[in-house]
Structure 1
Amino acid sequence: MNGLRVASLMAATVTTGLVAGIFGIYANAFMPGLAKTDDKTFVGAFQAVDRAIINPIFLGLCFFGALIFTVLAGLLQLKEKALPWIAVAFVLYLIVVIITISVNVPLNDAIKAAGDPNTIDVAAVRAAFDESRWRAFNLVRVALNTVAFGLLAWALYLTGKSNAQP
């Protein structure tokens, strides 16, 4: 049981950290880089990247995996000192999932549904996409997700510390 408790918490910490990193890359490199491109490049690149990120490793293992592993870690730590930290991390990450599904994904889907950048009004599509809204909510995801990662890392430390004591 102790091994499963530690393994689930490690999995929650790692997957939450990976998602925080992905959202951080979007905030610090991808979106700022795209902001400097013309409309056709923006629409085409965003469509391609969004199609690519919809894969089992990101969606299954990382994005939803972080939520599942955090729940599992919490259930296995019910009587442990790490539980409050895991619980808060879960709530923060759940907010990230809700923001992603309710704000970022609909914007992503709309830009993908617009069609081939060679045959559409890319300026209108880019304007309708609302980059500033997408970026603002992504920054919220980065902040919440990073804090959740830190809380899980602290919970992992507490778990290791309690396991080391006789």
Structure 2
Amino acid sequence: MTYDTSHPIPQRVDSGAGRAGILFLSIIVTGLLAGVFADWSNTIMPGLGDLDDRTFVLAFQSLDDAINNPLFLGAFTVAPLLIALCAVLQVRAGQRPVLWWILGGLLCYLVVAVITFGVHLPLNEDIGDAGVPQSAAAAAEARELLDESAWTAWNTVRALAATLSFGCLVLAFGLRGQSRPLSSR
């Protein structure tokens, strides 16, 4: 068998479409999460704040149970993985300006995770562990476990960090075509 060697084998050209797709997906996921966190600070917590203690505790417990679903937990978990993958792919592509914005997005998302695990999960577990309050005093005590003002303030910081992460990723996406690989400079 003989091979025609007169035509060279074309080299694979990196169009960046894969990197762009992963970055786009990370933008979508991060933006959705930013919206969820902002919604809690702007509508859910103020709405719950108007309720009596027992109704507040039961409603918060129900909402907390509902948000712990595969879609939300999957998005929360996959977002930093997608952003980190974007960073790795940008290092390989050598596009530094894009990389810096992606790293900024990752750093902001890590703030989201730290607040979630350090503030919200412990407070949510405290009110969840209180169970169904059987008296007005038990309901007031369970509500105090949450510390609504601290929960909402930290959630607002979390929403802002998620929004900043989203913004950094959008800027990175916009810079993709303008940034030349380091090897071509």
* TM-score normalised according to structure 1 size: 0.92
Q: Percent identity?
A: 42
Q: How does 1:111-126 map to 2 (within 5 A)?
A: 111-118=127-134, 121-126=138-143
Q: Which residue of 2 aligns with 1:147?
A: 164
Indicate conservation of the 8 Å contact 2:98/2:179, yes or no.
no
Q: Distance in 1 between matches of 2:150 and 2:139?
A: 18
Q: How far off is 1:52 after superposition?
A: 0.7
Q: Relative to total residues, which structure has the larger helix share, 1 or 2? A: 1
Q: Which residue of 2 aligns with 1:26?
A: 40
Number of aligned residues: 162
Indicate conservation of the 8 Å contact 2:120/2:151, yes or no.
yes
Q: Distance in 1 between matches of 2:67 and 2:47?
A: 18
Q: Which residue of 1 aligns with 2:22?
A: 8
Indicate which of 155, 160, 165 corresponds to 1:138.
Answer: 155
Q: What SS class does the counterpart of residue 176 from structure 2 fall into?
A: helix
CA RMSD of aligned residues (A): 1.6
* TM-score normalised according to structure 2 size: 0.83
Deviations 1:26-79 (A, max 9, x none): 01000000011111111011001101111111011x111111110011111111
Whose Rg is larger?
2
Matched, 1:104 2:117: no
Matched, 1:41 2:55: yes
Q: Which runs of 5 or more residues in structure 1 are unaligned? A: none
- The 4+ residue runs of structure 1 with deviation greater than 6 A are none
Indicate conservation of the 8 Å contact 2:101/2:168, yes or no.
yes
Q: How far off is 1:122 after superposition?
A: 0.8
